[in-house]
Amino acid sequence: MNGAGPTVASVMGDYGTARREFTWDSARRWLDGLPGGGLNIAYEAVDRHVAHGHGAHPALRFLGPDGVDQVLTYADLADRTARFAEVLRSLGVGPGDLVCGLAGRVPDLYVALLGTLKARSVFSPLFSAFGPEPLRQRMQIGEARLLVTTPALYRKKVAGLRETLPLLEHVLLIGAGAEDLVGGERLGPGVVPLAELWPGTTGDPVVEPTDPEEPALVHFTSGTTGTPKGAVHVHEAVVAHHATARYVLDLRDDDIFWCTADPGWVTGTSYGVIAPLTCGVTCVVDELEFDARRWYRLLEEERVTVWYTAPTALRMLMKAGSAPHEGRDLSALRHIASVGEPLNPEVVHWGLAELDRPIRDTWWQTETGAIMVANYAATEIRPGSMGRPVPGIDAAVVARDVEGHVLTGVDGGPVVLDEPDALGELALRRPWPSLMRTYLGAPDRYATAFLGDWYLSGDLVRRDADGWFWFVGRGDDVIKSAGHLIGPFEVESALLEHHAVAEAGVIGVPDPVVGEVVKAFVALKPGVEASEELRRELLGWGRTRLGSAVAPREIAFQQDLPKTRSGKIMRRLLKARELGLPEGDLSTLEVSS
């Protein structure tokens, strides 16, 4: 066994015992439930701590350029989220209506998220580095009625979309510059600074009875083809958020927790806001972007005890060398976990050498809603392995045919591969509390994510003889860049809108820091000359429409894009050629690591 790192006492204790004894019903009893009945994520994350006399404890500490910007205690958060729920009601936005959030990591975004859940409306986070096109698609699919955003983002990305979004009646402005607009200029129809609506609220803390199966969150994710998929999660998901925060993140009441993910994505919502708050801890929120020196300073000065971050960020720290953390006292740091992309063994070894701690990998997806496979605080790690299934989750490796379809067994379920180290697709047995309940408006796509009792993840893995899972690659064409999932189809569609482009094929090419970068192969229309100028124009076109999070970083002109007989561009072949892999057996091209 190539174990590494110390083992420590943990919330979960012994893994084997926890797996045997844990049930989701017992985990449900770790939470309170609403006083009037039902289960509401916001109540579990905020109000119940106030009811337990924990109201004065800091819940969120926001750090801006000049240090601590704002601290919200659990009592503050209870009050503000109640008022936000009242604002929604006063605007006629009610249970089941979709509210989108588009902002940097500013306090009122967190208030809006939790306040929306209190009102039994549904919250969908949008990423602030998306361009207008991804924003429009998501708000359209979600039939968003209200958007919470900043004046700058509204002007730059949303104002021009209003005509295409007739259902979007209200826009509430928060963050920098929003207060200045109170009682003043209106940036568009239904656009009001949130602060203008506060005076009409009372702070009445009552949360209406909420059925645990009511939709709470919609997280958009991308597939190989088609428009983004809106994975719908219900209030019951909080049972899994809480249990995994305890068992995997090892959170205890007095922890100082830092999740570096942006709340515009599922990790930043589930583990940057909801899960840690259900544990009553203090969350640190860094409003600024990555900076190695500042990050180490933050870990030291805030006395962060548990840190949840991502391989791209860790590789950026690695690249920055030892100087930025020399002399920093990181002794408060007890547990480091990582998620979102493969955590290379080199990074784990770097963590042991430079931070003097193991970094523990965790695996999950937008669809699973919570961590499913993990390395635990009290167990040794195997560098490169994503760990073992969390208590309450059955995971298996299932067989695929050469075209990548999961094979159906005699019982109508997948064919489970039990032999050690067999390569197959990772599947998880349903149900569990945070499993998505549908894809918005796309029940057929939802149905194809399952076979019998099993949810099919689309990821290729191996499981060793001791039950540890090893990530091998994605089973589809989706691109992972800096931990963010990018659908090639979305990028291709945007390029096709340019008058010079006849065809586009988009792939991810390996990058030592961000995992993969988006590369587009473009065939030009007859008579259009390829030139450096046009290449730059297309790069700019991509950035303006799609935003920096999604736009291609590289564009290559190629007249004959490889196509199947039915005319579909063969991204696999483009990728094989780009990477110098054999082109013959396309079934082997899925291995990306």
Select the residue whose beta carbon is closest to ligand WT7 and give its number: 366
Q: Where are the beta strands (DSSP E) in 260-301?
A: 282-286
Find the part of the chain contacting ligand WT7 (CB under 6 A) among 102-110, 245-253, 313-321, 363-371. 363-371
Residue 374, CB-side half-sphere exposure with 13 Å CA sphere: 29
Q: Are 233 and 217 in contact (CB under 8 A)?
A: yes
Find the part of the chain contacting ligand WT7 (CB under 6 A) among 64-72, 128-136, 360-368, 487-495. 360-368
How does DSSP classify residue 274? Answer: I
For residue 430, the minimal CB distance to ligand WT7 (Å) is: 17
For residue 542, the minimal CB distance to ligand WT7 (Å) is: 20
> Which contiguous run of DSSP H or E holds residue 474?
strand 469-474
Q: Is 266 in the site for ligand WT7 (CB under 6 A)?
A: yes
Residue of 267, 375, 379, 438 interacting with ligand WT7 (CB under 6 A): 267
Residue of 363, 454, 468, 557 interacting with ligand WT7 (CB under 6 A): 363
Collapsing DSSP states into helix, strand and coil, what is residue 237?
helix
Residue of 136, 235, 388, 474 interacting with ligand WT7 (CB under 6 A): 474
Q: Is 102 in the site for ligand WT7 (CB under 6 A)?
A: no
For residue 33, the minimal CB distance to ligand WT7 (Å) is: 27
β-strand partners of 486: 479
Find the part of the chain contacting ligand WT7 (CB under 6 A) among 72-80, 126-134, 334-342, 434-442. 334-342
Residue of 142, 342, 358, 391 interacting with ligand WT7 (CB under 6 A): 342
Non-local CB neighbours of 29 within 8 Å, separated by 6+ positions = none
441: left (phi over 0), alpha (psi -120 to 50) or beta: left
For residue 178, the minimal CB distance to ligand WT7 (Å) is: 29
Residue of 47, 214, 255, 361 interacting with ligand WT7 (CB under 6 A): 361
Build a one-symbol-per-residue string for 280-319: x at contacts with ligand WT7 by CB under 6 A, - elsewhere: ----------------------------------------
Q: Is 262 in the site for ligand WT7 (CB under 6 A)?
A: no
Residue of 449, 485, 518, 522 interacting with ligand WT7 (CB under 6 A): 485
Q: Is 341 in the site for ligand WT7 (CB under 6 A)?
A: yes
Q: Which residue in this structure is represented by tokens 């040794």?
A: 380
Residue-wise burial string across 25-41, b where 16 or more C-beta atoms lie within 10 A, e elsewhere: eebbeebebbeeebbbb
Q: Select from 284, 122, 60, 253 the least CA-distant residue to 245.
A: 253
Both tokens of residue 342? 């493969």
Interactions with ligand WT7, residue window 109-138 (CB under 6 A): none
Q: Is 456 in the site for ligand WT7 (CB under 6 A)?
A: no
Both tokens of residue 9? 């006492």
β 67-73/98-102 pair status: unpaired
Nearer to ligand WT7, 150 or 312 (CB): 312
Nearer to ligand WT7, 142 or 151 (CB): 142
Find the part of the chain contacting ligand WT7 (CB under 6 A) among 5-13, 139-147, 312-320, 356-364. 356-364
SS (HEC) of 37-50: CECCHHHHHHHHHH
Interactions with ligand WT7, residue window 378-407 (CB under 6 A): 386
Residue-wise burial string across 234-257, b where 16 or more C-beta atoms lie within 10 A, e elsewhere: bbbbbbbbbbbbbbbbbbbeebbb
For residue 396, the minimal CB distance to ligand WT7 (Å) is: 16
Nearer to ligand WT7, 296 or 432 (CB): 432
Residue of 244, 366, 434, 592 interacting with ligand WT7 (CB under 6 A): 366
Classify residue 354 by burial, with Cβ atoms within 10 Å: 0-12, 13-18, 19+: middle
Nearer to ligand WT7, 373 or 538 (CB): 373
Collapsing DSSP states into helix, strand and coil, what is residue 528?
coil
For residue 191, the minimal CB distance to ligand WT7 (Å) is: 30
Q: Are 193 and 172 in contact (CB under 8 A)?
A: yes
Nearer to ligand WT7, 121 or 244 (CB): 244
Count H helices, E strands: the chain? Answer: 19, 27
| Site residues (vs ligand WT7, CB under 6 A) | 221, 266-267, 339-343, 361-366, 386, 457, 459, 471, 474, 480, 485
